[in-house]
Structure 1
Amino acid sequence: MLSAYLLVSHGSRDPRPEIALQQLTELINQKQQSYSSSKKLVGLAYLETRPEPLHIQIKEFAHHAVLAGCDSLKIIPLFLLPGVHVMQEIPEEVALAQQAVGKDFNLELLPYIGSNPGLTKLLSQQMAEIITQAWVLIAHGSRRPGFQQPVETIAANIGAVAAYWSVAPSLEAQVEQLVAAGKEKIAILPYFLFAGGITDAIAQLTETLKLKFPAVTFQLAQPLGASAELADLIWDLMKE
C-alpha cells in the first residue's frame, strides 16, 4: 500500500525557506528510493502565505492520495517548538480537513519535528565544527506561557545558554553576561530550520556585538538547513 505524508511548514514571503523545503523533499525522496521497498507519497503544505487555508491544502492532497491508492494521510508539522501553531492551529486545520474528506480516509497528525530526540544530536554535530568557550542558542521566542521550557531543555542538553529574538533574555543580554564571566570566544547557534529574515537580523546583530566587544571572538553557526541529517529525522517519523 502506498503511504502518503504531508509536511506542513509555516510559510514565508522570503523565497529561501521554500527553496530549502523543496530540497528537503527531494532528499527524502532520494532516501525512499535507496532504503524503502514501499513507496511514500510526499507533499508540502503551508500554514500561512498561501491563498488556500491549510485545511483546504490538506483536503486537496488527500484527494490526490486517494487517486494514488492511499487510504490514509499522515501529517508532519515542520516546526521546532510546540507553540500555538503546533498545539492549536494545525490540529484545528486537520480536524476541518477530516470533516471535509470524510471518515473513510484517515488523517493522522504526527509529532512536530522538534520533538524528535535526534534533533539534539544534529545540533551537537553543528556545534562540533566550531571551537569556542561558550554557546548561545537563540530561538524566536513567544509570550505563550511555558514557551521557554523546551528551549531551555535543549540548551542545557547541548551545553548552551538560551536567548530569544522577540522576548527576554535577548542575545545581547546573554552575551553581556558571558563577557562579564570572562568568556573571550562566543558562538551563536540560531534555532531555526532555514535561513530567513530573522537569521539575517541575527547575523547583523552579531556584527554589532563584534564592534561592542572587540576583544571577544564571535562565531555564528548556520540554521539547520535542508541537510541529509534533517531528512533523516523526518524519515524516522515516516518509517512504518
Structure 2
Amino acid sequence: MPSAYLLVSHGSRDPRPEFAMEQLVRLLADSSANQQQCRDRFYRASTFSVSSIKPPLVDKACLELGSLSLAQQIKEFSDRALTQGYKKIQIVPVFLLPGTHVKEDIPAQVVIAQQTLGNEITINLRPHLGTHPGLVRLLAATMTHNDMASWILLSHGSRRPGAKDPVKAIAKQLNAIDAYWAVAPSLEARIQALVTAGHQQIGILPYFLFAGGITDAITQLVAQLQASFGAKLHLTEPIGASAKLAGLIWDLVEK
C-alpha cells in the first residue's frame, strides 16, 4: 500500500530554510515519481495491475514557530491523505543530529496525532536524516571539489552529554576535525591551532542543512578570522536542498 510523506523540520523565522524545505518536497516528489515509473514498467511487463499505484503525496511541517502544533499539522496532512486514499503516513525528521527534538519532541507529537486519528491511518516515524551514511559522502564530495590541506567540520553544538559524539564520528570519517558554533572547541580555536601547526589552507564544512542566520554569521566570522590569521580559509555552502539529498530521504522511507 502506498504511503504519503511528511518532512518535519525545526522551523525558522528566516524564509530561506522554509524555501529550501519547499524545494526538498518537490524533489522528493520527483524522486518518488521516478521510483513509481520503475515499478510501473515492471508491472506492465507482468500480470500485475497498476491501478492501485498512486502518485506520491509529499508535504512539509515544522516543529516550532508554526501557527499549529506539529500534532495538528500531522492531523491536517493525514486528513488530506485519507481523502486521497492513503492509509499510511511516513514522517521523516529532517534533522542532522539526534537531539531532544528528534528523541523526544517529535515522537511525542506523533503519539498525540495518532491518538487523535485512531485507526483511520497509520503514522510511521522514520529515522532522522542524519542517520543516513550518504550524508558523509555528500560532504566528502564537497571536499574533493575544493583542494584544501586541512578541514574543519563545523556544527552548532550543544552542552547536552554526548551531543558532540555524532559530529566527532563524521569528522573522523572525513579526516577532519570538529568545531562548534555555540560551545567549545570553537572555530577560532581550531583555526588557531592549525595555523600554529603550519597549516595555511583550511577548508570549513558547515554541518548545517540550509542557509540562515547562523550561516550568515559564520561567513562573517570566517572573513574576520582569515584577516586575523593570514591563512587561506575556504567556507563551503550548507548541505542544501538537492536531488541527492532527496534521494537519501527516499532511501530512509523505503527501508
5+ residue gaps, structure 2: 40-52
| SS of equivalent residue, structure 1 residue 88 | helix
Inter-partner Cα distance in structure 2 for 1:186 and 1:101? 52
Deviation at 1:40, TM superposition (A): 2.2
Which amino acid in structure 2 is aligned with residue 217 of structure 1? K
Deviation at 1:238, TM superposition (A): 2.8
Which amino acid in structure 2 is aligned with residue 228 of structure 1? A
Paired residue for 1:30? 30
Paired residue for 1:105? 121
Deviation at 1:32, TM superposition (A): 2.3
Deviation at 1:149, TM superposition (A): 0.3
The superposition leaves residues 128-171 of structure 1 with CA deviations (integer Å, 9 ceiling, x where unpaired) of 11111110100011111110100000000011100010011100
Paired residue for 1:3? 3
The superposition leaves residues 157-216 of structure 1 with CA deviations (integer Å, 9 ceiling, x where unpaired) of 0111000100111000111111111101001010000000000011000001011111x1
Paired residue for 2:238? 223
2:4–2:88 contact (8 Å) kept in structure 1: yes
1:194–1:223 contact (8 Å) kept in structure 2: yes
| SS of equivalent residue, structure 1 residue 40 | coil
Inter-partner Cα distance in structure 2 for 1:75 and 1:105? 13
- Percent of residue pairs bearing the same amino acid type: 50
| SS of equivalent residue, structure 2 residue 188 | helix
Inter-partner Cα distance in structure 2 for 1:146 and 1:40? 37
Larger radius of gyration: 2
1:2–1:68 contact (8 Å) kept in structure 2: no
Paired residue for 1:89? 105
Paired residue for 1:176? 192
1:2–1:41 contact (8 Å) kept in structure 2: no
Which amino acid in structure 1 is aligned with residue 191 of structure 2? V
Which amino acid in structure 2 is aligned with residue 232 of structure 1? G
The number of equivalent residue pairs is 239
Inter-partner Cα distance in structure 2 for 1:128 and 1:206? 21
What TM-score do the two structures reach when normalised by structure 2?
0.91
| SS of equivalent residue, structure 1 residue 194 | coil
Which amino acid in structure 2 is aligned with residue 32 of structure 1? S
Paired residue for 2:250? 235
Residues 1:156 and 2:137 are matched in the alignment: no
Inter-partner Cα distance in structure 1 for 2:119 and 2:26? 31
| SS of equivalent residue, structure 1 residue 93 | helix
- Residues 5-154 of structure 1: pairs in structure 2 closer than 5 A: 5-36=5-36, 37=39, 38=53, 39-154=55-170
Which amino acid in structure 1 is aligned with residue 227 of structure 2? L
Which amino acid in structure 2 is aligned with residue 65 of structure 1? A
Inter-partner Cα distance in structure 1 for 2:215 and 2:22? 19
The superposition leaves residues 20-55 of structure 1 with CA deviations (integer Å, 9 ceiling, x where unpaired) of 111111111222222324432111000011110100
- Is the deviation greater in 151-160 or in 20-29? 20-29
2:209–2:239 contact (8 Å) kept in structure 1: yes
Inter-partner Cα distance in structure 2 for 1:104 and 1:195? 38
| SS of equivalent residue, structure 2 residue 162 | coil
Deviant stretches of 4+, over 6 Å: none
Question: RMSD over aligned Cα, in angstroms?
Answer: 1.1
What TM-score do the two structures reach when normalised by structure 1?
0.97
Inter-partner Cα distance in structure 1 for 2:2 and 2:243? 23
Which of 164, 177, 181 is the matching residue for 1:165?
Answer: 181
2:2–2:88 contact (8 Å) kept in structure 1: no
Which of 192, 203, 214 is the matching residue for 2:208?
Answer: 192
Which amino acid in structure 2 is aligned with residue 89 of structure 1? D
